[in-house]
Amino acid sequence: MRILFVGDVMLGRLVNETLKKAPLDYPWGNALSVFQKADVRMANLECVISDRGNPWTVTPKVFRFRTDAKNVEALRIAQINAVSLANNHTLDFEYEAMFEMIKILDEAGISHAGAGANLQEASRPALWETNGIRIGLIAFTDNEPDWEATDQRPGIFYVPIDREDGRAKRLFEVVHDTQKEVDLLIVSAHWGPNWGYSPRRNHIPFGHALIDQGAHIVFGHSCHVFQGIEIYQERPILYSTGDFIDDYAVDEIERNDESFIFMVEIEEEKITKLHLYPTLIRNFQTRLAGGKEAGRIARKMESLCAEFQTPAKWNDKEQVMEILFSGSL
């Protein structure tokens, strides 16, 4: 089985305007050729899908991202199986838009986790089966504490990155309980600031704790650039998968237009490989990087992985990076 991950998928603003005229497969570019190799595909949905709602004004908010309801078809074209909604844009257009998005995703058959009518719903894992393998997705964020779901209030699954905080302990309990019900458990973490090629110091023990409680893969995002991959207990921690689709200005030092498609391979209940395909965002569209550009992006990741003693090998002929595993689920 192949599980594909991409970071922030933002279909709002200029991407949304482009999709009023362009075909709905436009944002994925030629990356769809890699998507077709996967059995399961996941992303962080960095916008709200809705035609409803008013801009969030209860607390200050600089950027608000919304895409038209019809653009859920763009996710279906990419065969996205599940998305994280625990992030800092799910409530950009208040509760009405969030609830419409949840309904739209449900009708499209796209699983989701991380937001809901109350804390119980927001912290509830998404569960489904693919090729006989039971998969679970839990999604949380340390962004936007004002959007925290409670027993009486809708919102997102907000968790501070503090292992002693009661909300973190609840997350660990959900992970521990869910891993008993599934064959493969993914924890999506929308955490930390927008910039920095190295994860925050407290992310590392927190990521370890998620694995210790039963997560098989930690799927991190929020930072606009990718970060190194750690193999802990023979399980991958993707601290940041970066940006995948957006309309953002590009920082010339921290290149937020560069990232990867991350493909985890599982054979006979073992995580055996992780393949990384370098990508670039151009004209509100993701493209597979090639030639010297791909090699340059890959070398940056090799260096970041080396900080975690993770051996990453670039295959220039195949234009893919490979990380090998030896452990089992």
Q: What is the pLDDT of residues 2-28, one digit of tens each?
A: 999 999 999 999 999 999 999 999 999
Nearest one of 239, 234, 243 to 266, comparing CA atoms: 234
**% of the chain surpassing 70 pLDDT:** 99
Cβ–Cβ < 8 Å for 144, 118 = no
Q: What is the pLDDT of residues 130-139, one digit of tens each?
A: 999 999 999 9
The Cα–Cα gap between 157 and 86 comes to: 6
173 Cβ neighbours under 8 A, 6+ residues apart: none
Chain-centre distance of CA 50, in angstroms? 20
State the pLDDT at residue 281: 98
19 Cβ neighbours under 8 A, 6+ residues apart: 11, 26, 27, 67, 68, 71, 74
Place of tokens 């309904």: 103
Give mean pLDDT, residues 30-53.
97
Band of residue 109 on the pLDDT scale cut at 50, 70, 90: very high
State the pLDDT at residue 45: 98
State the pLDDT at residue 328: 55
pLDDT of 329 higher than 80: no
CATH of domain 2-324: 3.60.21.10
Residue 326 token pair: 């030896």
Look up residue 130 and give its amino acid: T
3-state secondary structure 238-266: ECCECEEECCCCCCCCCCCCEEEEEEEEE
DSSP code per residue over 151-206: SSS-EE-B--S-TTSHHHHHHHHHHHHHTTT-SEEEEEEE-S-S--SS--TTHHHH
Please state whether the predicted TM-score (pTM) of the whole model is above 0.85. yes
Q: Where are the domains of the chain?
A: 2-324
CA atoms within 13 A on the CB side of 96: 7
State the pLDDT at residue 232: 97
**% of the chain surpassing 90 pLDDT:** 96
State the pLDDT at residue 279: 98
Q: What is the pLDDT of residues 297-327, one digit of tens each?
A: 999 999 999 999 999 999 999 999 999 887 6
Band of residue 60 on the pLDDT scale cut at 50, 70, 90: confident
Q: What is the pLDDT of residues 166-217, one digit of tens each?
A: 999 999 999 999 999 999 999 999 999 999 999 999 999 999 999 999 999 9
State the pLDDT at residue 59: 85
The Cα–Cα gap between 304 and 308 comes to: 8
Give mean pLDDT, residues 254-258.
97
